[in-house]
Structure 1
Amino acid sequence: MNEDKIIFATGNEGKMREIREILKDLGMKILSMKEAGADLNIVEDGSTFLENAEIKARAVWEKTGGIVLADDSGLVIDCLNGEPGIYSARYMGEDTSYEIKNQNLLNRAAKARGDERSARFVCSIAAVLPDGNVLHTEETMEGILADNPAGEEGFGYDPIFYLPEFQKTAAELTMEEKNKISHRGKALDAMKCKLMEYYGRK
């Protein structure tokens, strides 16, 4: 069992770049599930972000052991009754481009004005440890639905998520800016603290 590496249950390269950047000062190798030889098709049938994160982490951990992290994250739009929510990755089908998904959401929210366009990104992270114990963190990034997609930096729903304090969408932020305030950045930071505490790394 190797405790000098962390396996992250995702195949998303954009996500892996963010994760490696945030967790680099743990001094541990960060592998994607594919790099760790766990190319699984995991059924995420939980009813919350937290449940889905743990389902993913445990499925990979059962194959690899060690320390396995997984996140479940998504966009929650208030005027659309919380959609796409836990179905963010599968909204309109997994093979549908985000350009199409984003435009569909903007079209459906077209009549919402001002505060009615409130939205947030939610990220839950589960860490299954070598002994089978599980740590959890969950954080959000608050914003509003943009009027039009903008920015090339992010991925997924970033181009339609507007941050009033920056006057930019999440896709117009640099990775450094985004990691400081993003739902995933904050949840990973919180998880990093929990892991350091658990392993006594100061």
Structure 2
Amino acid sequence: MQPFTTLTGVAAPLPIVNIDTDMIIPKDYLKTIERTGLGTGLFAEKRYREDGSENPDFVLNKPAYRKAEIIVAGDNFGCGSSREHAPWALLDFGIRCVISTSFADIFYNNCFKNGILPIRVSEAELELLMDDAERGSNARLTIDLEAQEIRGPDGGTIHFEIDPFRKHCLLNGLDDIGLTMERGEVISAFENKLVESRPWA
């Protein structure tokens, strides 16, 4: 998993409440278990018209936001079904951070396991960040995980809270497998001891 330390990138505004996982990645894209290639399906029902052409009114199709790495969204982001394809699609598109006032629990947990930083902020802070995100090509935010800060284009700073263990995992690029591998020597010692104590097994 790619570590998350400091990210400076364009933030796309999505002032929609209750963006569910079906909106993030429609069910038609759930046939694969591969983590790559899902970026094309991200927000597909919003990004594309019925004939398959792009919807020019959707924020991620606008020139300034085509390479957005941050999303500033309305309340209750990631609600609905518990599909892990949702963070996969965000990551494959290039989104490394989602900022909202609240997240659905399963989606929130899945983000950390896939190298995406979900940040909870207050309503007043979200309003400020949404204003920043609506600046088009000037909508650049800096996310400093070590300092737990969001820095805006005008120099304003917002502090955010994060669980220390999750922070450690993101900073070091550790998913569940990576965490297990960190304990490789302990696991090997246990297995060797078990073999010695049970030679018949």
TM-score by length of 1: 0.26
Higher-Rg member (1/2): 2
Give the TM-score, by structure 2 length.
0.26
Q: Which has the higher strand share?
A: 1
